[in-house]
Amino acid sequence: MNPVLVEVWRGNAIESEHAGAIAVVDAGGTVAHQVGDIERPIFPRSAVKALQALPLVESGAAERLQLNDDELAIACASHNGEPEHVRTAAGMLAKAGVDAEVLECGVHWPYQDAISRALATRGETPTALNNNCSGKHAGFVCLACGLMGWNDAGLDLRQYVKGYVRPEHPVMQEVTDALQSTTGFDLSRAPRGTDGCSIPTYGIPLRHLAHAFAKFGSGIGLRDGQARAARRLRQAVAASPFMVAGSNRFDTAVMQRLGERVFCKVGAEGVYCAALPERGLGVAIKSSDGNNARAAEVVMAAVIEALVRLDDEERAFMRRYSEVTLKNWNGIEVGSLRASQALRSSLRA
C-alpha cells in the first residue's frame, strides 16, 4: 500500500485519507523525489493528452490547418464543455472540413453541476462537442487530415478517420508512438484498457511518466521535431489556459497565474502529470483510490508549492489548493484537506 498523501480533517480528527504515489524526475531520468510505488504501471488517462497531441504539431498538420493557441490548448484539454470549448472544438473540425459527426468520443453532460444546469436551462442537451475530450478528438481528426495527405475532399477524410479510436488505426498508431517514445516504456507489453472516450490507455509507471514530462518541459531527450512540438503546445496552453480546463478548474487557475512556469494536466482516477520547465523536472502523481479533486489536485498543489520558485503571493495562492478549507451547506467551516507531513517531507528531501 502507498502512504497517505492527503488528510481530510473534520473537527478535531482525521475523517478520511488518500494514499498515493508520486515521482519527480529530471530529463536525464534521475529521480529527484518519490513517494510510494513509482514502478507499478498505472493508467495515465487524460494526464498525457499533451504527449498524445505531439504528432498533431510535429506532423505539420497543426501549421497547415493554421490551428491557433486556443485550438492547440484544447487539443491537450479535459475541458468543462462550456460554450467557448464547444465553439473551439467545432472550429478545428471546420478547418479540417468536417463536423462533429466524425467524433467518436461519446456524449456526456458537463461534469460541473452549474455548467450542466446552465445547458439544461437553455433547453439544450449535450453533443460530442461538450465531451471533455472533444478537443483532443478534434486534434486527432486534424492529425488524420495530415496523415491522409491533405485531401481537400471532406468526404474522404470522413471515411479515413472512421474508427480512429481503435489502437490499429494510423492516427492512434501515431499517438501511441508518441507516448512510447516520450515515456520510453514498452507499450506492447503494458497493461491496456479503454479510456472514457474509447481510445486505448496503457499502464505506464509513474517514473516513466514523470521522465516524459521532464522531456516535454525541457525538450531534452526528444527528437528535434518533438521538442519543437512540445514547446509550441506549452506556449499555446500558457496563452490559453481556459481552453485546457475551464471555469473553477485547478489547471486553468494555476496556469493563468504561473504561465509557462508550470504545465499541469489532470487525468481521470486521480492522476496528475506536470512539467516544471524552470526546474527541469517532470511530475507524475497517482491517488491510489482514484480521487482527483481532493487528492491528486492537493498533491499537485503541494508539489508546485515546494518545487517551483514562487513569490509570497504566489505561494499563498498555491496554499489555498494544498490546504483547502471545507465548508458545509450553511457556509460553516467544518474541516480541511491537508497535504500530509510524509508528502511535504519527501518534497523537501
- 330 contributes a contact to a copy of itself by CB under 8 A: yes
Q: Name the residue nearer to a copy of itself (CB basis): 201 or 226.
A: 201
Count, residues near a copy of itself per rule CB under 8 A: 54
- Segment 56 to 95, residues that bind a copy of itself, using CB under 8 A: none
Binding track over 92-131 against a copy of itself, x by CB under 8 A: ------------xxxxxx---x--xxx-xx-x-------x
Q: Name the residue nearer to a copy of itself (CB basis): 149 or 331.
A: 331
DSSP assignment string, 82-95 = -HHHHHHHHHHHHH
C-alpha dihedral over 236, 237, 241, 246, to 10 degrees? 110
Among 323, 334, 342, 344, binds a copy of itself (CB under 8 A): 334
- 8 contributes a contact to a copy of itself by CB under 8 A: yes
Question: Min. distance of Cβ 265 from a copy of itself in angstroms?
Answer: 18
Query: Could you tell me which residues come within 8 angstroms of residue 11 by beta carbon, excluding any fewer than 6 positions away?
Result: 334, 335
Which amino acid is located at 147 in the chain?
A: L
Beta strands in the chain (DSSP E): 4-10, 13-26, 31-35, 41-42, 192-194, 200-202, 204-205, 263-267, 271-276, 281-287, 323-327, 333-339
- 1 contributes a contact to a copy of itself by CB under 8 A: yes
Whether the Cβ atoms of residue 49 and residue 78 lie closer than 8 Å to each other: yes
Question: Min. distance of Cβ 252 from a copy of itself in angstroms?
Answer: 22
Binding track over 235-274 against a copy of itself, x by CB under 8 A: ----------------------------------xx----
Question: Min. distance of Cβ 68 from a copy of itself in angstroms?
Answer: 27
Q: Which residue has the cell 502512504?
A: 3
- Three cell numbers at 167? 489502437
Tell me how far apart the alpha carbons of residues 283 and 273 are, in angstroms, rounded to a whole number. 5
Instruction: Compute the Cα dihedral for 290, 199, 105, 282 and give only its sign.
Output: positive
Query: Could you tell me which residues come within 8 angstroms of residue 331 by beta carbon, excluding any fewer than 6 positions away?
Result: none
- 291 contributes a contact to a copy of itself by CB under 8 A: yes
- 17 contributes a contact to a copy of itself by CB under 8 A: yes
Q: Name the residue nearer to a copy of itself (CB basis): 230 or 273.
A: 273
Residue 230, classified by CB atoms within 10 Å of its CB into exposed (0-12), middle (13-18) or buried (19+), is buried
Give the residues lining the site for a copy of itself (CB under 8 A). Answer: 1, 4, 8, 10-13, 15-19, 41-43, 104-109, 113, 116-118, 120-121, 123, 131, 191-198, 201, 203, 269-270, 287-291, 295, 328-332, 334-335
